[in-house]
């Protein structure tokens, strides 16, 4: 059982985490949800389409202009409070690596801290424990926040992913974060080249076998673009194919831009796996 905020999710229940970037320079939408009104509209749409988690980010992952902790908090804290007011039951996640920002958003009502940079600030797990928040433990290959990988090598990329993510998860649990609120993430593209990310996907079952719920953040990423030689706006099909494979191999939480399309893919895989009944079953029965 995965318990986040007011929600509980069974072991075979796929969970969609919708991305809402409060940044003017995100790689995908180029600031479409930087202002409050479009961002709140995005939340409404994502919830209506089946997202159980809203993941709010105040700093884009890639290189760019410096964003101080104060500016990151300004972009996220008030927005978290408003989303909480409008959607008391939705799970609110905040994508941050900074402990002080984590504390501020938890005070405002966040349920999960999505640490995409692999525990670079060890205080973030302590914040999650203090506020009873969930935590995403990600493999980033030791990269500094907002840097791109350069000639990264692993003797065994999945072995390194397991060592880091399980280690971070166990540390968080030892600090007092509830075990049923901890997720592990292989960190596609983070500290990895395209071949690393493909191998991480191919071997995702090894992460599922640890017993920790697996979160994947695949949506329109560079490893999809390089694999298919497609620009950012033409990566949806590759993303959905990767999503289907990840679902079959045991991932549970999916951080996405396209909520409705992802919902259909996950429902189809769950039905093939025997975890979900067809929505309608009339064929051959009349």
Annotated active-site residue 221? The verdict is: yes
The catalytically annotated residue of 60, 84, 98, 221 is 221
Task: Quickly tell me which residue has 């390089």 as its tokens.
Answer: 226
Which one of 203, 255, 263, 282 is the catalytic residue? Answer: 255
Annotated active-site residue 255? The verdict is: yes
The tokens 């930087």 sit on which residue?
A: 34
Q: Which residues are CB-neighbours of 152 under 8 A, at least 6 positions away?
A: 141, 191, 192, 193, 196
Phi-psi region of 81 (alpha: psi -120 to 50; beta: other; left: phi over 0): alpha
- In a 13 Å sphere around the CA of 194, the CA atoms on its Cβ side amount to 10
DSSP per residue over 172-198, as a string?
HHHHT--GGGEEEE--TTTT--HHHHH
**Phi first, then psi: what are they for 248, rounded to 5°?**
-65, -35
Give the residue numbers annotated as catalytic, written as ranges: 221, 255
């Amino acid at each position: 059982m995965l318990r986040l905020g007011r929600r509980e999710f069974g072991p075979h229940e796929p969970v969609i985490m919708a991305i809402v970037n409060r940044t003017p320079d995100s790689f995908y939408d180029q600031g479409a949800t930087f202002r409050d009104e479009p961002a709140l509209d995005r939340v409404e749409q994502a919830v209506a389409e089946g997202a159980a988690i809203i993941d709010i980010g105040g700093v884009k992952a890639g290189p760019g202009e410096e964003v101080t902790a104060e500016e990151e908090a300004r972009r996220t804290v008030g927005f978290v409070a408003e989303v909480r007011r409008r959607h008391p039951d939705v799970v609110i996640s905040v994508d941050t690596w900074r402990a002080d920002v984590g504390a501020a958003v938890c005070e405002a009502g966040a349920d999960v801290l999505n640490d995409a940079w692999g525990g670079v600030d060890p205080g973030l797990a302590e914040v999650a424990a203090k506020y009873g928040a969930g935590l995403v433990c990600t493999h980033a290959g030791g990269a500094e926040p907002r840097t791109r990988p350069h000639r990264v090598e692993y003797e065994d990329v999945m072995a390194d992913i397991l060592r880091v993510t399980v280690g971070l998860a166990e540390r968080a649990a030892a600090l007092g974060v509830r075990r049923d609120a901890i997720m592990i993430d292989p960190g596609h593209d983070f500290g990895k080249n395209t071949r690393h990310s493909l191998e991480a996907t191919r071997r995702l079952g090894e992460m599922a076998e640890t017993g920790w719920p697996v979160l994947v953040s695949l949506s329109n990423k560079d490893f999809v673009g390089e694999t298919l030689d497609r620009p950012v706006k033409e990566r949806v099909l590759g993303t959905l194919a990767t999503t289907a494979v990840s679902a079959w191999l045991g991932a549970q939480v999916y951080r996405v831009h396209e909520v409705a399309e992802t919902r259909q893919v996950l429902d189809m895989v769950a039905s093939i796996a025997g975890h979900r009944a067809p929505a309608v079953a009339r064929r051959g029965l009349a």
